[in-house]
Amino acid sequence: MQGLNPKQREAVTYLSGPSLVLAGAGSGKTRVITAKIAHLIEHAQMPAKHIYAVTFTNKAAREMKERVAKLLQGDAAKGLNISTFHTLGLNMLRRELKAAGLRRGFSIMDEQDVEQLLKELSKKNDTDKKVLQQARWQISNWKNDLILPEQAIAEATDHVQTFQALLYAAYQEALRAYNAVDFDDLILKPVELLKADAELRERWQNRVRHLLVDEYQDTNGAQYELVKLLVGVTAALTVVGDDDQSIYAWRGAKPENLIRLNEDYPQLNVIKLEQNYRSTGRILNSANKLIANNNHVFEKQLWSELGPGEVIRVISCADEMAEAERVASELVQHKFNTGRDFGDYAILYRGNHQARLFEQTLRTNKVPYFVSGGTSFFSRTEVKDAMSYLRLLNNTDDDAAFLRIINTPRREIGHTTIEKLSTYAAQAKCSLFDAIDHLGLAESVTGKSHARLRQFREWMIELQQESENEPAATVVKQLLSDIDYKDWLSQTSPNDKAADKRWENVEALIAWITKLQEEDGKNLTLPELTAHLALMDMLERQDDDAANEQVALMTLHAAKGLEFPVVFLVGFEEGLLPHQSSIDEDNIEEERRLAYVGVTRAQRELIVTNAKKRKRGGDWAPCEPSRFIAELPSDDLRHEGLGAQLSKEEKQERGNARLANLRAMLGG
């Protein structure tokens, strides 16, 4: 309990029933969760294996594990369950395979796999991409609200919903045939199991003696139900959340879940963490004043012992280019004056499209930066296709890789054939690839379908044999040539430009393989190559933690949970923040929460910028300052207008800063 304030200590030690910890931004919620886990083990004598903690990101789960390990001695934390919601759901499905109607080695379809499957199931190759994307979102929303296909079909009110509901039904059937689930199923299916099977539910409730949930305001309907079913009547539950930081309604989050807790658990104990350890007084005062304009179920007021700090600067710029140039100039000068690292700075914006101009000006000023949330090279469809072929060549037991590429390009092997193959493989307890060679398969899969499967298998075996004697790069090139993959990209891309870009990514992969061989000094074998590429993939997917010497460029959504000494909040204009769609829909409160998240990312200094005009559709359009600026306390702000002229000394100072930064980048 050392170092905890009174409210934090109360949250840690309370064990008499369910508790809601309202943790304001920067109030030490992770510290409370980890301290409570340690308290449950050391003082409540609860075995670690019966404690479950869930959050939303692998990064947060990893941080929790590391902190708990530091608090406990020896093997006290052995068996502790700290994971994301979806990892918990996956572990439940793995334990309850039979009940879930799944077989060992089931696949998890990623977003790209799902989109491709929906496209095939729509039976309309010319179906508008936007239509399929909307269907994908609708199916996800149905799953998050625990609505199954039968209910979706029954409740459809127009032809669009009917199309989406029927596609949903076909999609679930295809997943069953493929022995696969999607991301949303990792929550939906465990909920279904717990609801349907009293014995299974009791078993899991006995396993989960205390459940801790982080970022509770971000839970959707299915996640709320999962929590409720796991804790049962004992309600051994600690949830940590902040309704002021609920910014994910667009992906199904329901901040009203905090209200539901009060209804479902009348004995709920509410503890408020209001002391902020992150930001100065002026920043917190601005955050409090801003969010006070929203309706609240739970009132709270953040405060800090860090002193008032610097005034918040509000800079109006002539246009979007001037805004980007001003931010870059301010950043370089600030670093020159203070000696801070580039990693101390963040530029936060409402939409990804705003990043381009800031990237341009930062490059011009030789400022290192990274853009959070960019698409991983290995996440691109064409790269995943090639990697799946390599994975299957390396390991024919990889059913997920098999399912991805069996009809890429199309081999006229239908879903019925795959379902029969999958059923047979499960009965024979072998991989899909090996099942093709079984004599017994010919009883259920006959004619041309069987011949096409055998042809595919024989071709893959030939490539395997070649890979034993040929360099891996040669095998990859041969593989792509055999399937005429470049032509396939032309057929499946929206236009020639997109097809060329996708083929460039394939060529980049081949170039990487060649480079690996050159660096290795020998011809890599296929297993060696696959291992190397898998490692690259994992490194590329890591969190942005390593980018500590670069300015962070990211959306306000991506910035949640992070903090930076100096924050630039850019594009504070009507139509951007709040976004025009929210204005049209009269949904300003979530936009205000988004602005609140942005303000509370700043530890020591906050600079807010806007532009008087922006390019829209090739033409200049006037912009009005965001209403949120007027909601900030005027005493804590310093406005810097358009016409402000720099003094001779300021101009000299900025010039020196630019030169110093250039010398540093050049190593001089």
Q: Which residues are catalytic?
A: 29-30, 214-215, 245, 601
Contacts of 472-478 with C-beta under 8 Å, sequence gap 24+, read 472/513, 472/517, 472/523, 472/524, 472/525, 472/526, 472/528, 472/529, 473/510, 473/513, 473/514, 473/517, 475/393, 475/526, 476/386, 476/390, 476/509, 476/510, 476/513, 477/510
Q: How far apart are CA 450 and CA 421, in angstroms?
A: 10
Q: Are the CB atoms for 301 and 521 separated by under 8 Å?
A: no
**CB neighbours (10 Å) of residue 366?**
14
Q: How far apart are CA 612 and CA 625, in angstroms?
A: 8
Q: Is the dihedral of CA 374, 376, 382, 385 positive or negative?
A: negative
What torsion, rounded to 10 degrees, do the Cα atoms 194, 198, 200, 202 define?
100
Q: Are the CB atoms for 319 and 612 separated by under 8 Å?
A: yes
Q: How far apart are CA 117 and CA 140, in angstroms?
A: 14
Strands (E), 97-140: 107-109
Q: How far apart are CA 284 and CA 654, in angstroms?
A: 30
- Binning the chain into helix, strand and coil, the percentages to the nearest 5 are 55, 15, 30
Here the tokens at position 621 are 């359009």
φ and ψ at 614, to 5 degrees?
-140, 155
